[in-house]
Amino acid sequence: MLHPPLIVPSVLPADFSRLGEEVAELCEAGVDRIQWDVMDGVFVPNLTMGPDVIAASRPHSSVGFEAHLMVVEPDELLGRYVDAGCELVIVHAEATTHLHRTLARIRELGARSGVALNPATPASAVAHVLDETDLILAMTVNPGFGGQAYIPAVEAKVAELRAMIDASGLPIELEVDGGITDQTIAGAAGAGADVFISGSWLFGQPDGKAAAVRRLRDLAAQAHQQHHGEVA
Ligand code: DX5
C-alpha cells in the first residue's frame, strides 16, 4: 500500500558546527523525519558521524530520526544508534551476513527496521525478509557522498519493489535516496516510492527549506495521483 509522500532530509550538507540549530530549522521547515548518514570508511569510502553526535542533536528535534548505516557488519552498532534516539535503523543487504537475524534484532531493540540496496543489487535480495522489515531503501546513487547524480535506471527496481510490497499486503515504506531534486522526484514517486531523502538540493534552495519541502511533497503527490490514483 502506497503511503502519502514523506520528505526526509539527509543532514550530510548541514553546517556541523551548529547541528542542533540545523536540526531545529529542518523541523520548522515541516520535514517528516531526519536521516543520519553513518559511514565507516570501509563499506563506503567516506567517514561521518557516530551515535554521540546524533544523541547530542536529539533534544533539538520534534521529529523522528533514522540511521542509514553504511557500515560493514552493523550488528555490534545497532543498540548504540537506538540508544542515541533513532526510531528507525537501516542496514545494507550487501554488508549484513545474517540479514534476517539483524532486522529482527533491530525490532527487539524497540526500533523499526529497514534494509537498503545499492543500485546494482536486485530486488530479490529482500524477497525473503519482507516480514522482518518496516522499510526498504533503494539507493538512487552509489552510497558514500552527497551531491551525486540520480540514477534513473533504478526506477525499474523501485517498481519491482512496489509490486512485491503490494503483493505482500505489508505496510512497508519504500524509500529512495540520492540525487532527489524537483527534477527527479516525480520519476521515483511514479515508480512507487513513498519516502524521499534529499540532501544537497533541499539545503541549497534559495527560497529556503520550507518551500523546498513543500515543492518536493507536491511533486511526489502529483506523481502518485497520476500513476497510482488516490493515495489513502
Ligand atoms: C549518500 C547518502 C545520501 C546523500 C543524499 O550515500 O546516503 O543520503 O547524503 O544527498 P543528495 O540528496 O545530495 O544526493
The residues carrying an active-site annotation are 37, 177
Confidence of residue 1 (pLDDT cuts 50, 70, 90): confident
| Cα 150 to averaged position of ligand 1 atoms, centre (Å) | 10
Specify the ligand 1 atom closest to the Cα of 180: 12
Distance CA 222, CA 224 (A): 5
pLDDT at 98 over 70: yes
Does 12 contact ligand 1 (Cβ within 6 A)? yes
Atom 6 (ligand 1): residue with closest C-alpha? 143
Cα–Cα–Cα angle for 153, 44, 119, rounded to 5 degrees: 15
144 lines ligand 1 (CB under 6 A): yes
CA distance 120 to 154: 8
Residues of the chain above pLDDT 90, percent? 97
How far CA 175 is from CA of 17, 134, 197, in Å, comes to 29, 11, 7
Q: How far apart are CA 12 and CA 199, in angstroms?
A: 7
Q: Which of 37, 69, 88, 180 to mutate to test the pocket of ligand 1 (most atoms within 8 A of CB)?
A: 37
Q: Which of 42-46, 72-76, 153-157, 227-231 has the lowest mean pLDDT?
A: 227-231
Q: What atom in ligand 1 is closest to the CA of residue 139?
A: 7
Residue 231 is predicted with a pLDDT of 67
Q: What are phi and psi of 187, to 5 degrees?
A: -65, -45
Mutate to test the pocket of ligand 1, among 90, 141, 151 (most ligand atoms within 8 A of CB): 141
Find out whether the beta carbon of 9 lies less than 6 Å from any atom of ligand 1: no
Q: Is the pLDDT of residue 232 over 70?
A: no
pLDDT of residue 196: 98
The whole-chain average pLDDT of the chain stands at: 97
Residue 10 above 90 pLDDT? yes
Instruction: Say yes or no: CB of residue 179 within 6 Å of ligand 1.
Output: yes
In whole angstroms, what is the distance from residue 57 CA to residue 46 CA?
21
pLDDT digits (tens, 9 = 90+) for 144-187: 999 999 999 999 999 999 999 999 999 999 999 999 999 999 99
pTM comes to 0.98
Task: Verify whether ligand 1 is closer than 6 Å to residue 157 (CB atom).
Answer: no
With the C-alpha atoms ordered 50, 151, 183, 228, is the resulting torsion angle positive or negative?
negative
178 lines ligand 1 (CB under 6 A): yes
The per-residue pLDDT for 197 is 98
Residue 230 pLDDT:
60
- What pLDDT was estimated at residue 91? 98
